[in-house]
Structure 1
Amino acid sequence: MLDNFYARKDGLLHEAERRGASSRPAKIQHLVADSSPLGPPASSYSTLPIEILDFILRYLPSQDLCSVAISNKHLGAVAMRSLYHTIRLVRPVESVKCLRTLSQNPSLALLARSLAIHWSNILYPTRNLYTLAIRALCNTSLLNTLSIDVPTDFHPWNLSSCSFQLKELSASFPCNQDLIQFLESQPSLLDLTLRGFNSDPAEFSFNLSTFNLNPNPTSFALSPEALPRLARLRAIHAGPDIIASILKDRPITQVTMPLYADCVCRSLDALNMSSEPIEKLNIISFDPDAPLYLLSEIAERLPNLKALHIVILLAQCSEALLEGLAPLLRKFKALQFLTYMSATSSDDVSQDDEQTIAAMWHKSCPTLKTIILPMGKVWFMENCKWTCLED
């Protein structure tokens, strides 16, 4: 009886295998027949190029990228490249973990292209944290974008041992000799943002009529050969000496800078020291008298500006004042985008009033395409009529 049972069982299994093989698609039969123990089946690899996978994965949040990174070996390599491509460190605990990984794994550090260290809210930074950051930065030799924003009492950064060649730098470093030495080692730099001060904060002077963050600036002299490709400069607190030193004979076309009451003309004169015409200018004015002269002074020096953005912090802008600025715009020959903001307003300017002002400004400067007035509304020309973006 047992012999008959086993014989019948073998016959049923053989018949099941025969029917399964005959019903299997030809493509699957081929893959099974040709599979080799030397590697996984070809179907486990993506047919998409690495560049497309990389592009897709960069849209995923970091948590999902981590999941993809451990999904399989092929996708994991691409996910790791996306995961470490752009790094932003804000919270201390996460910063320490990430910097430790970068300092201990040079192969992962080589994947980093953009690194932001923003520790402005850390009240008591330690030297160990600084040392860990430097060790990590020394491994990121392919980095091209670096942003560092730390408290003023943070240990002075010494990046001389780093080998990366940056294209973009944003830093809160003091504008001193250490910063000059680092900038002179970065010939590929295209975009520079300086948030540091050029004088002792204890010497800052501000009252109702004066606000100056650089009353006694220290020397800031770049060598003529430094930063040969620099095109964009944002110097948030810099005085005229820094502006002139950086702009002189360099192909800078976009500038953001402050204007202090006691050195407005010197700062504006520095704009003509660039080897290329300035096309875009962003001004933060700390002079209460700025509305009376600022547009005229800028137009005298830079009549071919394409974009001008002005923020006036210590002056009021009334409707009559804004209307009075219209004739000053005639000196601009190519101005397309104009922002004129103020922190305070002596009276409320209605939307109809702003429309009238925009039309007056355009009549004086026909090249204007977009205007932003002190109330914050964006005006643009549509069907021969100035229209508000909120309409």
Structure 2
Amino acid sequence: MKILLAEDSKAIGLHITRTLEEWGHEVTYVMDGRAAVDAYQQARPDLVLLDVVMPEMDGIEATRQIKAQGSDRWVPLLLITALNSTEEVVAGLDAGADDYLTKPINFAVLQARINVMQRIKLIQDSLFGILDNVFEGIVAINERGIIKTFNQAAEKIFAYRPQEVIGQNVKLLMPQPYRNEHDGYLARYQRERTPHIIGAGRKVRGRRRNGEIFPMQLSVTEIERDNGSLFIGLIRDISEEEAARERIEYLAMHDALTGLPNRARLGELLDQRLCGRNPPCDAILFIDLDGFKPINDNHGHEIGDQALIEVARRLQAGLGNEAFVGRLGGDEFVVVLLDVSGPQAAIDAGHAIIAALQPPMQLGPEAITCRLGASIGVALGGMHGHSRTVLLTAADSAMYMAKRAGKGRVVLAPPLT
């Protein structure tokens, strides 16, 4: 065992130290109570032996301060006192001591007490070994929100060492605004006994030691004890799961090659824009590239893919955040201009797109020079219909009209009759 010994008599202290070391224990020896309190966190002992009468700070006050530091594990503390000091024994036990030894030390009794503590330590280590090797983080707090238990999985999740959080308020592990609100939640539950998280798992956000905010699954169980409730939180870091889910959702709505929104996202947008009684005047520009097939045929699909990526970049750079730019597939793109002033504004935007695509592209490691144009069909909400299908069909038809008229053109769909 690792034993912390505090004894102001050097002769007695060294004698006890040598005996304990002969028994195979590791001993940290100090000569006063204040040094014992300071050494407790550094040594992290399995057993503490304190003389009651010491300079600087007596053993009873040292006991009180050591116990106040808190720990996720029980560390037995034995006081060493004179044979007739009943008051000291009672005061020491009230301060938090677990047992006592009388002077002069009977080493047979000391060894028997240590054997008892070792048996208890074995049981405790077995329990904490189970807790430390479960996948989920386990954090237990008392009624004031003070952390009492912090297992190895929690250490990995939050990147705090147990000694950094034991005795601290659990809101240390929370981001704002939950950090400021948690004490109020805990007080309200104890007052009203109306649970919101206790007994039911939910997704919340945690805060790592470096300030990183991450998603986690939290389940809380309450254990009612004579000296107050203990709340045990079971924690699972779901950062990877959330990232995978967000990636799947992103891919479901975006083109894998260019990163632009895809046909599904376009349909979702148009349905949202057109669902009202008085939908806004949006313009749909259906874009089909001119000259794309020869790039694929002459230089291969890798260069063709790079050409599509460059087209996407130029469309986004030219239109910015004021328009929706998507890829429908192949060499077909679509632009939705939001709240346009009229047909001429949409046509002008189409000409600007053609101008943006005209400069030659340098593609591939050999900087192959390629040129692309575009034929664009335009349809406007209201003028050409009020549904997604009708508007896309009108814009698509106008694009084919532009192709037949010689390519590199912008054609407005005929109005509804």
Q: What is the TM-score of this pair, normalised by structure 2?
A: 0.21
Higher relative contact order (CA 8 A, sep 6+): 2
Relative to total residues, which structure has the larger strand share, 1 or 2?
2
Name the larger-Rg structure: 2
Q: What is the TM-score of this pair, normalised by structure 1?
A: 0.22
